[in-house]
Amino acid sequence: MKRKLPITASVILAAVIILSALYTAHTDYSRTLKANWGFQLPHLSRYAQVYQMQEENQSGDGIRYHVFSYRYEDYIDIMFAWRTRQDYTLHHPTYADAAVTWLDKLGVPEDKRPDYDRCFYWYRLGEDESEIIIFWHTEENRLYILENMI
């Protein structure tokens, strides 16, 4: 009996550490979005990151790409005034053109990219000319988030 208690306590401690690390990784990007763009991903949507790619540099500038799946659409629906039509960005005639340029630079494979024609859109230009585009594909329950940080 004495031997089982330390093993059980060790297993519980390991589980707590693993769950804490997963929670921190899960919320870090949402905190980054809040700091940079003023919004967070809604926890109640039960989102999970399924893909990530970003430029390697020390400054934190550059292109970042994250793909999230989610369980509950209602919370995604109320995040923004989603657009049904693409518009121009600072340097590109459409959101898709900007995305293709940025994703090509990162080397993101085609199967990890959104189907631009089947998405809703949200775009913001930052004061420092950084840009963010979010593609929301409702049929796939996916959010594709692209940032070009200056």
Predicted local confidence at residue 22, as pLDDT:
46
Q: Is the pLDDT of residue 13 over 50?
A: yes
Higher pLDDT, 78 or 4: 78
Classify each residue of 99-114 as buried b or exposed e, where b means 16 or more C-beta atoms within 10 Å of its C-beta.
Answer: beebbeeeebeeeebb
Q: Is the pLDDT of residue 121 over 70?
A: yes
Q: Mean pLDDT across the stretch 26-52?
A: 91
Q: Structure pTM? A: 0.81
Instruction: Quote the CA–CA distance of 80 and 84 in Å, as a whole number.
Output: 12
Give the model confidence (pLDDT) of 51-108 as tens digits.
999 998 877 789 999 999 999 999 999 999 999 999 999 999 999 999 999 999 999 9
pLDDT band at 14; cut points 50, 70, 90: low
Instruction: Quote the CA–CA distance of 28 and 39 in Å, as a whole number.
Output: 13
Sheet of strand 131-137, all strands in order from the earlier edge strand to the far edge? 48-54, 62-69, 142-149, 131-137, 120-125
Find the helix or strand (DSSP H, E) in which 63 lies. strand 62-69
Instruction: Quote the CA–CA distance of 45 and 47 in Å, as a whole number.
Output: 6
Q: Residue ranges of the domains in the chain?
A: 4-149
Count the alpha carbons within 13 Å of 101 in the hemisphere toward its beta carbon. 14
Predicted local confidence at residue 17, as pLDDT:
56
CB atoms within 10 A of CB 59: 7
Give the model confidence (pLDDT) of 71-83 as tens digits.
999 999 999 999 9
